[in-house]
C-alpha cells in the first residue's frame, strides 16, 4: 500500500452504492469488473451482463488500538472467507467469493438476486423500525406488500420454503460448520430467474466457526427458533417445518441434537452462568 | 481481444487486455522465448522481455471469464499492496490460479506448455499502451477468438483434479446433472481464487 494515496479498494468503495450499515461493517453494491471494450478484429463478443458484487467493508474502529484493529479485521475477513469456501465445497448454498482485500477489511461476494426470508414471511425489511430487533450487517431491501403474494412470485409455498431452510442448515451442520447467527434475515431466496435458479442461500458468515459438538449445533437451531418467534407471529408451525426437514436430512445424528435442543430450550443458549 | 479498464486502480495497472488464441501452433517456441528472455542480459534482454511481457495461460484450465478476471484482479491487488509472491504481476496471475503455494507447479500447470493449442494471453498495463493486440499477435501464431469460445475449451476433468474437487460432497449431490455440476465447479474454483490470499 502506498501511504500517500488512497488504496484501490477504498477508491472502489467511493464509486459503490451503499446498501446498509451495521456496527461491524458497511455493505455496498458495485460492479467489480468493468464492461469490456472489444477490439475490432475479433468476432463480435457478446459476453454476459457483468455481475454485481456485494462488498462487506469492515471499517476502522476508532475505539480500538490501530494495530489490534488491523489484526482483528484481517482475521475476521479471512475467517468469513474460509467459512464460505468450506460451505461451497460441502454443497451448502452460500454466495460465491469474488474478491478479498484483507488488509483493508473488504470481502467481495456474489450479489444474490432475491429477497430475504424475513421479508418473504412478512416480517418486513430490516430497518423498518416497527419491530425492536438486533442490528445485523447484511443487506435488506424493498418494502410494502405483505406475505403470501410475495412467495407466489417465487412459485413455492411457505411449507416448501421451511423445508428448504431445514435442509440447508442440515447440510451445513453435517459439514461441521456452525453459522453462529441464524436468523430469517440471514437467509435469502434466490429468484428463479437467476442463472443458478431458485435456491435458499445462507448469508453472513461473520460469526461462523467449525465445531463437531452437538451442543453448538443445538444452540445454532435454538438461536433460529428464537429469531422466528421474535420476528414472525404464529411461528411454531413454521419452525416445526424447518426442524422436520432438518431431521430428515440429518438422519441418525438427529436424535442427539434433538435431545440437546430440548436442554438448551430450558436453560438458554449460554451453558454456564460464567462470563 | 477484450480490454477492461479499472478506474480505481493505479494507472500503470489500470488496463487489462485479454485475448484467447485457438489453434496455436508455436507454443513450444513461446515457452522457449519466455525462458530465454529471462536469461538474456543487457538491452537485448530488455527488448525481448518486453516482447513477451504477457501472462500466457493454458485456456483448458480456465472455467469462465469471471474465473480469469478474479485471478487477474487479485494479482493486481497483491502487486499494488506489495504482497506479491512471484516476480511479476503476470506470473502472479498463474500463482493466483493454482490452488497450492508452489510457484513452479503453478507455472507448469497453468502456464504455456509445448503441447498447448488454446492459449489465453493477458497484459496488465497503463491505458496509454495501445498496440497490445499487435504485440500479442507478433508472439502467438494462432486464431484470435472470442472469449465466449472458452465454454468449448475448458477441460473440466483437469480443473476438478487440480482443485481437488473429486469426492467433495458438493459434487456428489449434482453428479447426475453436468450443467449444474459445471456451474458449481466454476463457483468453487472462482471463489478459491478470490480467497487465496487468506487461504488457511
Residues A99 and A129 in one domain: no
* Per-residue cell: A64: 480500538
Residues A92 and A223 in one domain: no
When pLDDT is averaged across residues B182-190 and rounded to a whole number, the result is 96
Q: Which residue has the higher pLDDT, B166 or B94?
A: B94
Residue B35's pLDDT band (cuts 50, 70, 90): very high
In a domain, A163, yes or no: yes
CATH assignment at residue A201: 1.10.510.10
Q: What is the pLDDT of residue B66?
A: 96
Q: What is the mean pLDDT of residues B83-102?
A: 96
CA distance B159 to chain A (A): 14
CB A99 within 8 A of CB A108: yes
Closest to B86 measured CA to CA, from B105, B112, B66: B105
Q: Do residues A53 and A108 touch, judged by C-beta distance below 8 A?
A: yes
Write down the ipTM of this complex: 0.93
pLDDT score of B173? 85
Residues A126 and A83 both lie in one domain: no
Please provide the average confidence, as pLDDT, over all residues in chain B. Answer: 94
> Residue B136 above 90 pLDDT?
yes
Whether A41 maps to a domain, the answer reads: no
- Whether A97 has its CB under 8 Å from any CB of chain B: the answer is yes
Residues B48-67 have pLDDT tens digits of 999 999 999 999 999 999 99
Q: Hey, is A56 helix, strand or coil?
A: strand
Q: Are residues A76 and A150 in the same domain?
A: no
A165 and A186 share a domain?
yes
Q: Is A12 on the interface with B (CB under 8 A)?
A: yes
**pLDDT < 50 regions, chain A:** 1-3, 42-45, 129-145
Contacts of B11 in chain A (CB under 8 A): none
What pLDDT, on a 0 to 100 scale, did the predictor assign at position A189?
96
Q: Which of B191, B199, B200 to mutate to test the interface with A (most CBs of A within 10 A)?
A: B191
Say how far apart CA B10 and CA B7 lie, in whole Å: 8
Regarding whether A207 and A106 lie in a shared domain, the answer is: no
Quick one: A123 and A219 in the same domain?
A: yes
- Could you tell me if residue A63 is inside a domain? yes
pLDDT, position A123: 77
- Helix-helix angle A214-231:A158-174, to 10 degrees: 160
Q: Find the largest Cα–Cα distance for chain A.
A: 71
Closest to A262 (Cα-Cα) out of A206, A235, A222, A212: A222
- Tell me which residue range forms the domain holding A73: 6-34+47-111
Query: Please, what CATH class does the domain formed by B2-198 belong to?
Result: alpha beta
- Is residue B200 within 8 Å of B137, Cβ to Cβ? no
Looking at the domain assignment, is residue A1 inside a domain?
Answer: no
Q: Are A7 and B81 an interchain contact pair (Cβ–Cβ within 8 Å)?
A: yes
Last residue of a domain, one of A91, A111, A131: A111
- CA quadruple B2, B4, B5, B9: dihedral sign: negative
Q: Residue A13 sits in a domain of what CATH number?
A: 3.30.200.20
Split into its structural domains, chain A has a count of 2
Any idea where the domains of chain B sit in the sequence?
Answer: 2-198
Q: Is A113 a catalytic residue?
A: no
Amino acid at each position: 500500500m502506498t501511504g500517500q494515496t488512497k488504496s484501490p479498494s477504498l477508491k472502489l468503495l467511493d464509486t459503490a452504492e451503499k446498501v446498509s450499515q451495521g456496527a461491524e461493517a458497511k455493505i455496498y453494491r458495485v460492479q467489480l469488473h468493468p464492461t469490456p471494450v472489444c477490439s475490432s478484429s475479433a468476432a463480435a463478443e457478446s459476453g454476459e451482463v457483468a455481475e454485481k458484487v456485494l462488498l462487506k467493508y469492515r471499517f476502522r474502529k476508532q475505539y480500538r488500538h490501530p494495530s489490534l484493529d488491523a489484526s482483528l479485521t484481517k482475521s475476521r475477513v479471512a475467517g468469513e472467507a474460509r467459512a464460505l469456501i468450506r460451505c461451497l465445497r460441502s454443497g451448502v448454498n452460500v454466495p460465491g467469493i469474488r474478491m478479498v482485500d484483507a488488509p483493508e477489511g473488504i470481502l467481495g461476494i456474489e450479489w444474490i438476486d432475491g429477497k430475504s426470508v424475513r421479508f418473504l414471511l412478512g416480517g418486513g425489511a430490516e430497518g423498518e423500525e416497527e419491530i425492536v430487533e438486533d442490528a445485523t450487517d447484511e443487506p435488506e431491501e424493498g418494502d410494502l406488500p405483505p406475505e403470501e403474494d410475495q412467495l407466489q412470485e417465487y412459485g413455492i409455498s411457505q411449507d416448501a420454503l421451511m423445508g428448504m431452510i431445514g435442509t440447508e442448515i442440515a447440510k451445513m451442520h453435517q459439514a461441521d460448520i456452525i453459522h453462529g447467527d441464524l436468523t430469517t434475515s440471514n437467509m435469502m431466496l434466490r429468484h428463479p430467474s437467476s442463472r443458478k435458479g431458485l435456491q435458499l442461500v445462507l448469508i453472513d458468515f461473520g460469526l461462523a466457526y467449525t465445531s463437531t459438538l452437538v451442543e453448538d449445533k443445538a444452540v445454532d437451531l435454538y438461536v433460529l427458533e428464537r429469531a422466528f418467534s421474535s420476528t414472525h407471529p404464529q411461528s411454531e408451525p413454521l419452525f416445526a417445518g424447518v426442524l422436520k426437514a432438518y431431521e430428515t436430512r440429518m438422519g441418525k445424528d438427529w436424535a442427539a441434537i434433538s435431545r440437546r435442543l430440548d436442554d438448551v430450550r430450558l436453560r438458554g443458549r449460554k451453558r454456564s452462568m460464567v462470563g | 481481444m477484450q480490454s477492461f479498464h479499472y478506474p480505481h486502480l493505479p494507472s500503470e495497472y489500470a488496463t487489462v487486455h485479454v485475448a484467447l488464441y485457438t489453434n496455436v501452433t508455436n507454443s513450444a517456441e513461446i515457452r522457449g522465448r519466455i525462458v530465454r528472455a529471462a536469461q538474456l542480459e543487457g538491452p537485448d534482454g530488455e527488448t525481448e522481455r518486453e516482447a513477451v511481457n504477457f501472462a500466457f495461460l493454458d485456456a483448458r484450465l480456465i472455467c469462465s471469464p469471471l474465473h480469469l478476471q478474479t485471478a487477474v484482479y487479485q494479482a493486481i491487488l497483491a502487486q499494488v499492496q506489495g504482497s506479491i509472491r512471484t516476480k511479476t504481476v503476470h506470473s502472479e496471475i498463474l500463482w493466483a490460479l493454482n490452488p497450492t503455494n508452489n510457484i513452479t507447479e503453478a507455472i507448469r500447470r497453468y502456464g504455456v506448455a509445448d503441447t498447448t493449442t488454446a492459449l489465453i494471453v493477458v497484459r496488465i498495463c497503463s491505458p496509454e499502451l495501445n498496440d497490445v493486440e499487435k504485440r500479442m499477435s507478433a508472439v502467438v501464431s494462432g486464431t484470435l477468438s472470442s472469449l465466449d469460445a472458452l465454454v468449448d475449451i475448458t477441460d473440466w476433468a483437469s480443473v476438478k483434479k487440480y482443485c481437488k474437487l473429486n469426492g467433495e460432497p458438493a459434487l456428489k449431490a449434482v453428479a447426475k446433472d453436468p450443467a449444474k455440476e459445471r456451474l458449481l465447479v466454476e463457483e468453487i474454483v472462482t471463489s478459491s481464487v478470490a480467497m487465496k490470499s487468506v487461504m488457511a
